[in-house]
Chain A
Amino acid sequence: MQFIQLVISGIAQGCIYGLIALGFVLIYKATETVSFAQGELMMLGAFCGLALMTFMGFPFWLAVISAIAAMAAFGVLLERIVIRPILGQPAFSIVMLTIGIGYVARGLITMIPGIGTETHTLPVPYKDQVWNVGALVLNAEQMVIIGATTMLCALLFAVFRYSKVGIAMQASSQNQLAAYYMGIPVKRLNGIVWGLASAVAAVAGLLLAPITFVHANMGFIGLKAFPAAVVGGFGSLPGAIVGGLVIGIVESLSGFYLPEGFKDIAAYIVVLVMLMVKPNGLFGDKLRKKV
């Protein structure tokens, strides 16, 4: 029983990692850069939802939808202003930009007087609800995360696998020059990708807020999502979720059964083991350059 309860907690926590990892993978798949700002976008999304719900008094669903839409728009704008000017530069430049964006986002939020340095709670209707199934305790907040994550993942997977735009995004990440030659509007797609990633981040932020609260540093959880993405294979959307689950469950179990300290580094040990055994993660493409 204990074990099952731990696994359930692990799954719930894993879904959180997976959800954030989804954002990483999304950006990576479509632009081949790693966004270090994903956690901060999530934080902005949560603050956005908070502002709408508590300060502007929007009803819950309206607030959620507006927050996601607003963040999507913000993502597009961000791409337009900050990323686009250096589109085509080596991927690492863009990684640096995202680090910068992270600093700015955190700084800006912190600067809001009376709000930025505080921790807030998001008034969601399902707060603190628990279902007892036998001796197990299921937590509404966690169940919502699991459900939403699965849906988002399926949706994004379909987009990338079957839609023309999705394939074009991958194409432009693999060879931008050729994408231009094909008339693929690389810049516009990039905008869409960042919009999408911000929207996903907003969803993550809103779902996470009841558990971790809303504060300027909530984005740091993204550091745990990196291992999740890697374990799953960085280019794979389902991999992000599976990776998240693996990490979540391992963490939860090692926290209970292993000596102190292991829980905190379990994720990283899993990553290292994975990289030794299967360097491209569970679902990553096996890549080898043909010469």
Chain B
Amino acid sequence: MTQNPPAVSDTPVLKLLNVESAYGPIRAIRGVSLQVRRGEIATVLGSNGAGKTTILKTISGIIDPRKGSVEFKGESITAKDPAYIVQQGLSHVPEGREVFPLLSVHDNLLMGAYTRKDKDGIARDMEAVYTYFPILRERAQQDAGLLSGGQQQMLAISRSIMAAPDLMLLDEPSLGLSPKLTKEIFEIVVRINRERGTTILLVEQNANMALNASDYGYVLENGRIVMEDTCARLREKDDIKEFYLGMKEAGVRGERRWKKKKNWR
């Protein structure tokens, strides 16, 4: 990337304070506080069931937090209607694609731009996502439900791009994408961040990609944030290397099947 990135300002676009969310009796996240500053890409790492998806869902109002507050662009959006939150300039690429199966690809994209009024801008962005993912143009009239898994993922991301949001929440965007496309997706994410100044909160299993593309990272374990730092520094931590980047000190795990306890050095 050669272009000059817009400076990351210090004002947080998104601020979570002590958020606790639960599914019935199961508390999925407990006292999570995090911030995403305007113009940056932040990432949340964490193992299965750590609560990453729950955080994103809480932000976009899909589940109401038990405690704590969520602030977006200085306004509290705690437990607001999800549609309202999205209209404030936030868009969410959900886990598991969630396309509109019986609408055509084209209509799916149009729905992405539901909150927008500028016809020209929409047409421009439509053209842009078709360039990112030519297959979508090819399948514009096909029902989205008949796309392959990866194609649906492309559609889900594109749909979110169509919203031209201020803040994008991405839940595992590379899920089910080919290695080549995975890289491309991250390039697109970074480009959108750099070119449009879109702030991004990224949840990703592919930690290597995520840590390289992001500016700031949080590590989530069992619903709690156990570590946060700039990505540059996170990349250097041993635990991160071992558990998230798969770089092992030779012989620590190797082909043997026991797990080392994480102690967050």
Taking Cβ atoms with an 8 Å cutoff, the residues of A that contact B are: 164, 167-168, 170-171, 174-175, 177-188, 285, 287, 289-290
Contacts and interface: CB of A to CB of B under 8 A. Distances in A.
Nearest to A181: B92
Given A171-B107, A174-B100, 10 more contacts: A167-B110, A170-B102, A171-B103, A171-B111, A174-B103, A175-B99, A177-B94, A179-B83, A181-B160, A183-B91
30 contacts: A164-B110, A167-B107, A170-B102, A174-B100, A174-B102, A175-B101, A177-B94, A178-B100, A179-B83, A179-B100, A179-B111, A180-B62, A180-B82, A180-B83, A181-B94, A181-B98, A181-B160, A182-B91, A182-B115, A182-B163, A183-B91, A183-B114, A183-B163, A184-B83, A184-B111, A184-B114, A185-B87, A186-B83, A188-B83, A290-B147
Given A175-B99, A178-B94, A290-B145, A183 B87 contact: yes
Contacts of A287: 102
Interface in B67-100: 81-84, 86-87, 91-94, 98-100
B159 interface: yes
A167 to B, nearest CB: 5
Contacts of B146: 290
B60 interface: yes
B112 interface: yes
B91 A181 contact: yes
A217 B163 CA distance: 48
Contacts of A170: 100, 102-103
Interface of B: 60-62, 81-84, 86-87, 91-94, 98-103, 107-108, 110-112, 114-115, 145-147, 159-160, 163
Contacts of A175: 98-101
Nearest to A290: B146
Contacts of A180: 60-62, 82-83, 86
Given A174-B101, A178-B94, A183-B163, A168 B114 contact: yes
B133 to A, nearest CB: 18
A181 B97 CA distance: 11
A168 B100 CA distance: 10
Nearest to B97: A178
Contacts of B147: 290
A182 B102 contact: no
Contacts of A285: 102
B145 to A, nearest CB: 6
Contacts of B103: 167, 170-171, 174
A178 B110 contact: no
Contacts of A178: 94, 98-100
Nearest to A235: B102
A188 B84 CA distance: 11
A183 B145 contact: no
Contact of B83 (A167, A183, A290): A183
A289 B145 contact: yes
B53 to A, nearest CB: 12
Nearest to A184: B114
A187 B83 CA distance: 9
Contacts of A177: 62, 94, 98
B125 to A, nearest CB: 14
Contacts of B114: 164, 168, 182-184
